[in-house]
Structure 1
Amino acid sequence: MRGGTIQINWHDTMPVLTLDFHSFSGTLATGGSDKDIKLWVITPGASQQKFPLSSYKKSLSYHSSTVNILRFSPSGELLASGADGGELVIWKLQSTDDQSSWKVSKTLLFHRKDVLDLQWSSDSGHLISGSVDNSCIIWDVNKGSVHQILDAHLHYVQGVAWDPLNCYAASLSSDRTCRIYVNKPQTKQKGYEKINYVCQYVLTKLEAHNVDDSKPFLAKTHLFHDETLNSFFRRLQWSPDGSFLLVPAGICRFSSASDPVNVAYIIARNDLSRPAVQLPGASKPIVAVRFCPILFCLRGSKTDSLFKLPYRVIFAVATLNSLYIYDSESAPPIVIVAGLHYAAITDISWSPNAEYVAVSSQDGYCSILEFDDEELGVPFSLGDPKSASEGIACTTNLKADEEKKHEAQPTLTKTSDANKPTKRRISAIAIN
């Protein structure tokens, strides 16, 4: 693995708030405070010692305010971008060999304030968005209209996620709740089923357990940071097979006398009512997570797997100043990257072939890590994702005493002493 911060002028040195790889061509799109969307081509470094190279292709100019979020559709034909002031735009790829030829197809108008996050449905027909107006909206993209409004949150909605199996959706808000919605279709004429999402679970507090004592505390503790968290984004996501939901911005105590610890929560599909595993972060809050789009074959060399899966799921977790890459077959992270940026990290994206992972930052730059062939493993061929996910079972036999033996070393660091990471014990802990 190699990589680092690419020293180019991404958005006139203004904050880069979002980025996403096209699901087929691998084109990287970035957006930020300069109101533009820029398209880039990422190519491997000239040698093993060189960083990946980034070449500018084109700017997509339409927004009149800061671009907070952009995501390509699974089909690769559409691009959705959300901005301040409630702007939400659908771009369409033109029928040409030039993958940078995008034109505005629709403008979706209903959010009253800034759009902070969005996610496509797996069939690219619908979109869910979250806004500073405290609401989530499910859009019918083909019609360009509001399909459903989910407005139970009491503060900003800073993250939304859509289950790839189209059964659930999720939202995360600075009101310290994560809401999980289940699709209960309404039958229409001619047997047509209209999607209809109903809130099934509200995750807000959990009865804590001392890792050294099975006796629970008397009081329940909040699962998430409050509105004072220094980030507008709490980007959550479902795993590509739908087996679990990964949620950032968590906070917990491991004992009644301990200080709060920043964590990300893993919520298993077979029990969405509470977190199954917590991933302790570094000193800074976790603000974004993103799954590698490729599943990998088991290596069979580790016994502390997070989940009983027939394959390995790899995902990235970003704090305000660090990036952790996890493997579902082991408890501690497999990569830790710190000190790449001088301001907060804002978003993460994986290339479709898992060759690159990119992060954006408010310092106006992006970092890209490049993996060698099969460095992450051998790709796994998934036949039926629905049948595979139904057999998922979360393991809860991780022992805290054994986990503490793992001491993770930073893999890449910047040479600045101010940003040099310290050694930390980082390991997943099952919540019993």
Structure 2
Amino acid sequence: KPIFSVDIHPTGKRFATGGQGGDSGRVVVWNLNPVLFEAVEVDPNVPKMLCQMDNHLACVNCVRWSNGGKYLASGGDDRLVMVWGLSVAANATPGKHKAETWRCLATLRGHAGDVLDLAWSPLDKWLASCSVDNSIIIWNAEKFPEMVCVLNGHSGLVKGVAWDPVGKYLASQSDDKSLRVWKTADWAQEIVITEPFEECGGTTHVLRLSWSPDGQYVLSAHAMNGGGPTAQVVERDGWRCDKDFVGHRKAVTCARFNNNIFVKEGKKCCCAAVGSRDRALSIWLTSLKRPLVVVHDLFSDSVLDLSWSSDGLNLLACSSDGTVACIQFTNKEIGTPLTMEEKNAFYEKIYGKCLANESGGDLSANLLVECPEILLAREKQEAKKEAAKEETTPKSDKSQPKSLLSPSAGSSGASSTPLRPMDRQIETRTSDGKRRITPVFIPLTHADANESLSSQPGGTENCFSTSSQSKSRIRVEVRDDIVIHPNVSNHATSTQHNNSRTSDKYVVNKACNTQYGTLSRLQLLPNNSASSDPVWETYLGSNVTCIACDVRWACVACADGTLHVWQLARHTATRALPPLALMSQAAKLTLSGDTLAVVTTSAELAMYDLSTATCVIRPLCFRSLLSHGVTVTNCSLLDDGNPMISLSNGKSYIYSKGLCAWVVWADACDPVWRCSGAAPNVRASRTSLYPLAKVNRTRPTSFTNSSYRSGAARSWLEAQVSSSLHLRRAQDYRHWLHALFAHLVNHGTEDQLRSILDDMMGPSHCTSTPKKWQPTILGIKKHELLEEMLALLVRQLRWQRMYAEYSDQLSELKVHTVVNGH
């Protein structure tokens, strides 16, 4: 019984055949290894037939694996297209002749006649089927059995279809003696080619044509030249028909290009196999004028189908005599294939896109650049990237940042960083008898910078340390006083007073035992001074638990639940507040500018403005945010004065004074966040600008086809945008809006994108600006945000028309604004 079709799986481990069964159509999945290796063939433990499917009611004319290898499509005389998938169910027990179980996932009904050929589009977005009903149906491979469209144009039986490797065109060949090329953008006809087929007489069972892997040629079946049968080569450039493969004595039935682009003798070339009714098979290289090899009388009947393995070295051919032949090649014979990276670089160079598209497998980006504005916008983005790289590249005279070098004498007075003694290391003992050495900050000098450079790879070839090490410049000063180590000490620098005074004091917390009890002694020591005598000191009657100080303020919390605040001067300190009795002992003190935040052990938060001696936030209980075993790991004040607390369970909250509520900023246990597939993917350049982005160091990255993952990621990003907006965090709002839009570009819908773009664009159709639309948000111009979004949109070719639409509107708005003088 004839075998009408054969196709090798992309992994090269199995192949499928289609033909006539006992009383129905038959699809068989075979093990390829016994065909390739004799040792495997004689091994009785290795199955040769993996699965046999007899679901078709009539003869099967075509079988085709999807490019990803997940599905197998078959079409037959029963007018049906069946899509098969490998069953991995635990209770799926293979039956007779079934080492594997393949089940029918979808049955596609739409043709009114026999289905003769099938073809999967690049990246498996569409499946094309052609039939004797003179039509071609494009099926949505992501939503079987949904039809995308029906292509009507042929006046005869359509017997072959083939996709352009970059997905812009679909070619079909018919008994009406024509080859037609269809555009996938709108499914209109690009060209109808008839000249090479006008002399053709008779017909063949199939007309399997093929597109070269470089996209430059279409190789057709059953053409004539000078009265002789040929395989016509149609060039993509102008659809010229001035080349063909000649030599066969009877009509060409099938042609199949190898999927690889080869390099042979320094030249790129493609390899094609041609089968004919004369029972012969010819192999061609586009770099040669004559065939590479011709195999005569390979079968006893017509060749009907061909298939190459993914590595390009194995070719299977089937015949109506019921047999399959395998021909093996070597790289020396046909060339060395390009790697996937080289292949995609080639596509990028020729067509402006590659199969490994930027969406990480998003199949809907299977389009080409339609207008030059897209290419210009991309070139501008690349130019900006190069300029940014040049700016960030350190120059020879700026190899070290100025902040790492010791300040010069002329600039010492402008330094705002509190300095400690650089030549003295203080050693004390804690209350439990352990030694404690106060760390000393030593700024880099030019010599230190040069030494650090020479120690890096490339700075010098010497990998060993010298025997004569320079002596330490630090002298250790041992003190007998007992120091109570503070629980939290936040040495925040006051940015409001940096220019008025440079800090030259440092607060040291020491314990002193007397006959009346333990006293805590606080001393103000001069910095950069050989003398260790304090310029100011005070005593407290309880153990100090927390300290927070900066240039202007020193805040101390004691074990008895009292809070003490001093305002620091050059040689003294004065009390800024009377001793305050907190509701419970303070656990953490946070000082930022003139604002002090106090977190107590009873889960209460209070905030004070030290400059005006007023309470900003009354003692606020957040015990409901805590659960058993959960503690507060950090409390910080944002630049707008709102407090943020971080918990040991990975949650972070920011208190909104306007909403009088805690806003959830981060939650590592949130099922939505975890389902979104988020992973650390926030660029360092952004996290350095947006402090809150460091708390949520995550942005959704890759997704499976599960719709809930993409939806969960969108929901989580929308929550971040909303939180930033209501907290009035302009930089964070910009950051998360950018992340949300980037996610929608890859995984969202047109309506979701337009909703954001329309809000950023505003009413572009009228001259007056409605009051309800504001041109700025949190002080950021919406049109600036729109430009950033369009820069993301242009990266995805499936949105190129939307990009052109909004880009043109934005350009018109800018021109209108300039003309009207606004």
TM-score after normalising by structure 1: 0.72
- For 2:262, what is the secondary structure of its paired residue? coil
Whole-angstrom CA distance in 1 between matches of 2:214 and 2:261 = 9
Higher helix share: 2
Matching residue of 2:28: 38
Q: Does 1:289 align with 2:276?
A: no
Matching residue of 2:164: 163
- For 2:206, what is the secondary structure of its paired residue? coil
Matches within 5 A, 1:230-249: 231-249=204-222
Whole-angstrom CA distance in 2 between matches of 1:328 and 1:346 = 23
CA contact (8 A) 1:243 1:389 kept: no
- For 2:177, what is the secondary structure of its paired residue? coil
2:224 to 233, 242, 251: 251
Quick one: which amino acid aligns to residue 85 of structure 1?
A: D
1:376 to 334, 341, 348: 334
Q: Does 1:28 align with 2:15?
A: yes
Quick one: which amino acid aligns to residue 289 of structure 2?
A: A
2:54 to 47, 51, 61: 61
Q: Kindly state the Cα deviation for residue 299 of structure 1 after the two structures are TM-superposed.
A: 1.2
* Unaligned 5+ runs, structure 1: 1-13, 185-195, 207-221, 254-259, 301-309, 392-432
Whole-angstrom CA distance in 2 between matches of 1:112 and 1:225 = 26
Q: Does 1:318 align with 2:318?
A: no
Matching residue of 2:125: 125
Whole-angstrom CA distance in 1 between matches of 2:19 and 2:199 = 26
Quick one: which amino acid aligns to residue 317 of structure 1?
A: V
Whole-angstrom CA distance in 2 between matches of 1:81 and 1:389 = 33
- The one-character-per-residue Cα deviations of 1:191-236 (angstroms, maximum 9, x if unpaired) are xxxxx31111111126xxxxxxxxxxxxxxx44624x22x210000
Say if 1:385 and 1:109 are closer, same or farther in 2 by CA, change over 3 A: farther
Say if 1:352 and 1:57 are closer, same or farther in 2 by CA, change over 3 A: same
Say if 1:263 and 1:54 are closer, same or farther in 2 by CA, change over 3 A: farther
Whole-angstrom CA distance in 1 between matches of 2:85 and 2:12 = 15
Q: Kindly state the Cα deviation for residue 39 of structure 1 after the two structures are TM-superposed.
A: 1.4
Matches within 5 A, 1:248-397: 248-253=221-226, 260-272=227-239, 274-300=240-266, 311-320=268-277, 321-372=279-330, 374-381=332-339, 382-390=343-351
Quick one: which amino acid aligns to residue 205 of structure 1?
A: E
Matching residue of 2:618: none
Matching residue of 2:74: 81
Whole-angstrom CA distance in 1 between matches of 2:89 and 2:332 = 32
Whole-angstrom CA distance in 2 between matches of 1:371 and 1:100 = 29
Whole-angstrom CA distance in 1 between matches of 2:276 and 2:316 = 14
- For 1:333, what is the secondary structure of its paired residue? coil
Quick one: which amino acid aligns to residue 11 of structure 2?
A: F
Q: How many residues align?
A: 330
If asked which structure has higher relative contact order (CA below 8 Å, sep 6+), I would say 1
Matches within 5 A, 1:170-249: 170-184=171-185, 196-205=186-195, 222-223=197-198, 225-226=200-201, 228-229=202-203, 231-249=204-222
CA contact (8 A) 1:181 1:201 kept: yes
Matching residue of 1:304: none
Q: Kindly state the Cα deviation for residue 131 of structure 1 after the two structures are TM-superposed.
A: 0.3
Whole-angstrom CA distance in 2 between matches of 1:162 and 1:138 = 12
Say if 1:183 and 1:42 are closer, same or farther in 2 by CA, change over 3 A: closer
Matching residue of 1:6: none
Whole-angstrom CA distance in 1 between matches of 2:318 and 2:6 = 7
Farther off after superposition, 139-148 or 320-329: 139-148
Quick one: which amino acid aligns to residue 190 of structure 2?
A: Q
**Identity over aligned residues, as a percent?**
29
CA contact (8 A) 1:297 1:377 kept: yes
Q: Kindly state the Cα deviation for residue 351 of structure 1 after the two structures are TM-superposed.
A: 1.3
Say if 1:349 and 1:177 are closer, same or farther in 2 by CA, change over 3 A: same
Say if 1:325 and 1:267 are closer, same or farther in 2 by CA, change over 3 A: same
Say if 1:390 and 1:141 are closer, same or farther in 2 by CA, change over 3 A: closer
Whole-angstrom CA distance in 1 between matches of 2:182 and 2:332 = 37
- For 1:336, what is the secondary structure of its paired residue? strand
Whole-angstrom CA distance in 1 between matches of 2:47 and 2:76 = 25
Q: Does 1:94 align with 2:87?
A: yes
Say if 1:116 and 1:323 are closer, same or farther in 2 by CA, change over 3 A: same
- The one-character-per-residue Cα deviations of 1:23-73 (angstroms, maximum 9, x if unpaired) are 1143110010111111112233449xx9xx992222123111100001000
Whole-angstrom CA distance in 2 between matches of 1:240 and 1:119 = 15
Quick one: which amino acid aligns to residue 312 of structure 2?
A: A
Matching residue of 2:371: none
Say if 1:165 and 1:80 are closer, same or farther in 2 by CA, change over 3 A: same
- For 1:197, what is the secondary structure of its paired residue? coil
Q: Kindly state the Cα deviation for residue 102 of structure 1 after the two structures are TM-superposed.
A: 2.0
- For 1:103, what is the secondary structure of its paired residue? strand
Quick one: which amino acid aligns to residue 148 of structure 1?
A: C
- The one-character-per-residue Cα deviations of 1:273-293 (angstroms, maximum 9, x if unpaired) are x31311113211111011112
Whole-angstrom CA distance in 1 between matches of 2:72 and 2:123 = 14
Q: Kindly state the Cα deviation for residue 388 of structure 1 after the two structures are TM-superposed.
A: 4.5
Whole-angstrom CA distance in 1 between matches of 2:11 and 2:65 = 10
- The one-character-per-residue Cα deviations of 1:287-310 (angstroms, maximum 9, x if unpaired) are 10111122221314xxxxxxxxx5
Q: Kindly state the Cα deviation for residue 265 of structure 1 after the two structures are TM-superposed.
A: 1.2
Whole-angstrom CA distance in 2 between matches of 1:247 and 1:378 = 25
Quick one: which amino acid aligns to residue 263 of structure 1?
A: T
CA contact (8 A) 2:72 2:84 kept: yes
Whole-angstrom CA distance in 2 between matches of 1:159 and 1:316 = 16
- For 1:108, what is the secondary structure of its paired residue? strand
